Each structure stands twice: as C-alpha cells, then as structure tokens.
Amino acid sequence: MSIQARLEELGIILPKAAAPVASYVPVAVHRDCAYVSGQLPFIDGELVTGRLGDDVSLEDGMAAARACGLMILAQLEAARIPLDRVERVIKLGAFVTSTPDFADQPKVANGASELMFDVFGEAGRHARAAVGVPALPLGAAVEVDAVLALRD
C-alpha cells in the first residue's frame, strides 16, 4: 500500500508546510538521509502554545506532538520528497515546553511517535529523545525534528 493510500485510510490530510521562522531550511538531504528541522504544532491553523504542567494538558501536548509529526511529513512533500521514498524513520527529537516538575515528556512525544508507526508501520519505529525545555520559538508547547532514511 502506498503511503498516500495509508494516509487516506487513516483519514489524515497533511497541513500546508510552514515557512521557516529563522535562517534555515526545513529539509536538508545528504546522501540517503533527510534531516527535517524542528517543526512546531499547528492545529486548525493555530499554533499550540503554553507549558505542559501549567496551562497545557498531557492530552493537548500529545496532540501538539502529533501535529508536529504531520508537519514533518508535510515538509518532506514540500521538498518534493515523496513519502514512499521514506525507507525508515531513524530518529525523532521532541522538545516539550514544561514546568520543572513535569516529567511526562516521553508521553507527550508519543503523539509524534505513534503517528510515524501508524503511517509507516515497522519502518516508522525509531530512536527518540524527549526533552523538557523552558521555552521554544514563538511560545510553542512542543517542537519535533526528524532524521529519515530515503530509498533511491
């Protein structure tokens, strides 16, 4: 099954790829790997802002991480990399704006990880970091970056 067919089966419509907010490219390809810059969570066109452990619930944080994952896929397509070229999701890095006592960053990051499993199956299983941070660009609640292996 193609990835596009899988997205349709899951009822997923990818968002429009967001423009960079600073001096970088959204996707850089080197040899057989695509490196996707950190993506912020947009749900219904609105940036999810706030802090986990304060004004953002765990469930909303997981939804924000999933939205970051969708934006990663959208950035690949915007870079003219068909999703069927993804051989494997190698690593995700999840950054969670959180209070010092919030310790569920891994649960938040599951929002993006589970999306990759759903879309790519076994090829979506990856290594991961889930890190709590005091602040992210534009006040975002979550940011996720990715490294993906590509087929020729």
Give the pLDDT confidence of 10-48 residue by residue, as tens digits.
Answer: 999 999 999 998 999 999 999 999 999 999 999 999 999
For residue 53, the model assigns a pLDDT of 97
pLDDT band for position 1 (cuts 50, 70, 90): confident
pLDDT band for 129, please (50, 70, 90 cuts).
Answer: very high
CB 46 within 8 A of CB 38: no
Of the pLDDT bands very low, low, confident and very high (cuts 50, 70, 90), residue 139 is very high
* Residue 21: predicted pLDDT: 85
Q: Distance (Å, rounded) from C-alpha 147 to C-alpha 36?
A: 6
Question: Partners of 87 in the beta sheet?
Answer: none
What whole-number percentage of the chain has pLDDT above 90? Answer: 98
CB neighbour burial string for 90-101, b if at least 16 within 10 angstroms, e if fewer:
bebbbbbbbeee
Radius of gyration of the chain (CA): 14
Closest among 142, 6, 150, 151 to 71, alpha carbons compared: 142
Q: Residue 87: its pLDDT value, please?
A: 98
* Structural domain 3-11+26-150, CATH architecture: 2-Layer Sandwich (3.30)
Mean per-residue pLDDT over the chain, rounded = 97
Q: Domain segments of the chain: what residues?
A: 3-11+26-150
